[in-house]
Amino acid sequence: MTDTSPTGDRIAKVLSRAGIASRRDAERMITEGRVSVNGKTIQSPALNVTAADKIVVDGKLVGEPDPPRIWLYHKPAGLVTTERDEKDRETVFDALPDDMPRVMSVGRLDLNSEGLLLLTNDGGVKRRLELPSTGWLRRYRVRINGSVSEARLDQLRAGIEVDGVRYQPMIVTFDRQQGANAWLTVSLREGKNREIRRAMEAIGVTVNRLIRVSYGPFQLGNLAPGAVEELKQRVVRDQLGLSDKPTPTRVRKPVKRPAPKGGNRTG
């Protein structure tokens, strides 16, 4: 155990990798005196540990961390992408299968958005996949009320500023008119909060359905709403840059059914 040598990893990172808590929550647990290393309670997360160190949290020995894992999740509309919601609404983590380990979302989808949400057990993977520098396109199927001209879509293709926030150029394709609505395909690399909805409002149309269909090489495909599929470990290693990127191989988990009416969850 050392706080002066770069050997090993920061204690909060190790606890996050082991599925104990997020890095931020792990730091809080440390300052609360709930973590000991080699029999000594620590008070600061400014500490590196190695596999040789004995780490105990709340009296329980921390085992070897799991390798990085990634799941594909088809988020239904009406779920919040957060671990805790101040309004006591149901979260995506409430809806996951009971045998899932502790996971974090890679980015977010807002309450009324649907589609592909990546989940991981590793904080480092989460941060890496969220970085704009990763360069992965996020592709969405977008339904708008009414119709929109190519001239207005060109504003999005050129990049647009809304309420002082600059959005990078989007790839936008008009797909079809369907009654009172129109379908578009929109691709972007940043994914700022409510970016597509705000940009569409700025050109005079309202989004009434938004489905993320891909995130980089990962595809929603025919994954049913509420279903989860884990990527094979080989694919995870490949997608983290250790080799050429293959077509993702997926292992499906059963959908967790909604709680009966009258339960503790709220929609």
Residue type, 98: D
Task: Give the E-state strand segments of the chain in sequence order.
Answer: 9-10, 35-37, 40-41, 48-49, 55-57, 60-61, 70-75, 104-106, 114-120, 138-145, 160-162, 165-167, 171-178, 181-188, 206-215, 218-219, 228-231, 250-253
49 pairs with which residues across the strands?
9
Cα(123)–Cα(129) distance, rounded to whole angstroms?
10
Q: 7: closest CA among 64, 38, 62, 53?
A: 53
Cα(30)–Cα(6) distance, rounded to whole angstroms?
20
Contacts (Cβ under 8 Å, ≥6 apart) of 240 = 68, 125, 128
Radius of gyration (C-alpha) of the chain in whole angstroms: 21
Task: Give the E-state strand segments of 156-203 in sequence order.
Answer: 160-162, 165-167, 171-178, 181-188
* 3-state SS class at 259: coil
119 pairs with which residues across the strands?
71, 105
Contact in structure between 171 and 188 (CB atoms under 8 Å): yes
The residues carrying an active-site annotation are: 110
